[in-house]
Amino acid sequence: MTSENLPMKPAAALLQDVDRPSVWPNANARLLGLGVGLPVKPLDRLAQFSAAEFERFTLEWATDYLAAKVPGIEQVQQRGGAGDKGRDVVVWLDPIGASPRRWSLYQCKHYKTRLGWGSAATEIGKLLFYNQRGDYAAPVEYWFVTHLGVTSDLQDKLDDPAALKKSIIADWDKYCRDEIRKDPVPLDQVLRDHIATFDFTIFKVKQPLELLNEHAQTRYHLTVFGLPLIERIVPKAPPSSVAPTETVYISKLLAAISEGVGAAIADEAGLALHKKEAALFRRSRLTFYCAENLRELARDSMANVEFFDSLLQEFADGLYHTYNAPATSGLSRLSATVQAAQSLQLTGHMLNPHVVANDREGMCHQLANEDIAEWVS
């Protein structure tokens, strides 16, 4: 009896969208190789992962490679844990309501050694049993995903689907009968017939190097493996109109300019008769957005905007006495802070290789925008 002859219960009933991975501890140190043994070849580092690290790694891979980079994938869900019926990461290839709704299964397992035949047989047995029982349809593909790879014996079986089928039948009592659920699952004739007609070509292994190459296409790879930092894109020009996110530092800048020219300046249009101050206004917006571009690099390519936040805090600490010092005017205080920012040492910060002069000036306006710095006392 094949799976097509049985009414299929909804496979998604107990599934949930795949979790977002948590941030790696000490991400800055990992990127810079400070105190964590970097640089280490990614393949060697993957082999050293603990169970918790491998879980985080596979969530990164599932959310930012499978779900975002692979064509034809509709949805990525996870199950894992008690009652998962042998399903870990489920990848849907068709939208909800499609009949049949095709899917692939990724079993992400952390073992102390290479995945061997015994453990793999148990997982395959679960799929065969629950599929035969009608709990869910057979997947299009079934992938074993591990941090160490598989043994030669298991790989030989996976390379020969006919031999794999014979091995499951021969070793059912040893690896499957008492391992699938609480009650024993004997290899009765119904299950034996189901196995005989089942397509064993769906079983594959995701080799560690292939897994790494796919993870390298995610935003998380740099943080995990400390590879050379990516190229920074050219900052975009400021929008023609002041954005809501700029209002705080713009109001402080205009207050300093108003003080300097002895007239109330409410917006850029009011600078028409003040060419020097108009140039300062335009430059200030340019450098603010240059620093915003640095924030986007931390958020989108390094997967953690906190990298930018910690950089801003370094500027806040390093410039504290400058923007709080007595000054003859708001513009002179701003100028002194910008000049100090250009020589501020950023020891050991992971964004340091990307910081240019305009970023340093822009960080002063970022400090004003965060209500940390004031120009007019």
pLDDT digits (tens, 9 = 90+) for 222-241: 778 765 556 677 888 999 99
The percentage of residues in the chain with a pLDDT greater than 90, rounded to a whole number, is 62
Mean pLDDT, the chain, integer: 86
Q: Is pLDDT at 312 greater than 80 in this prediction?
A: yes
What pLDDT score was predicted for residue 89? 83
Q: Is pLDDT at 2 greater than 50 in this prediction?
A: no
pTM of the model: 0.56
Burial of 272 (0-12, 13-18, 19+ CB in 10 A): exposed
pLDDT digits (tens, 9 = 90+) for 315-335: 999 999 999 999 999 999 999
Find the range with the poorest average confidence among 160-169, 191-200, 296-305, 337-346: 296-305
What pLDDT score was predicted for residue 243? 95
| Average confidence (pLDDT) over 163-189 | 96
pLDDT digits (tens, 9 = 90+) for 241-268: 999 999 999 999 999 999 999 999 999 9
> Bridge partners of 204?
143
Q: Is pLDDT at 18 greater than 70 in this prediction?
A: no
What pLDDT score was predicted for residue 221? 85
What pLDDT score was predicted for residue 56? 85
| CA–CA gap between residue 61 and residue 143 (Å, rounded) | 14
What pLDDT score was predicted for residue 353? 80
| Integer angstrom CA distances of residue 315 from 29, 289, 318, 320 | 19, 17, 5, 8
What pLDDT score was predicted for residue 9? 42
| Average confidence (pLDDT) over 122-147 | 94
The percentage of residues in the chain with a pLDDT greater than 70, rounded to a whole number, is 85
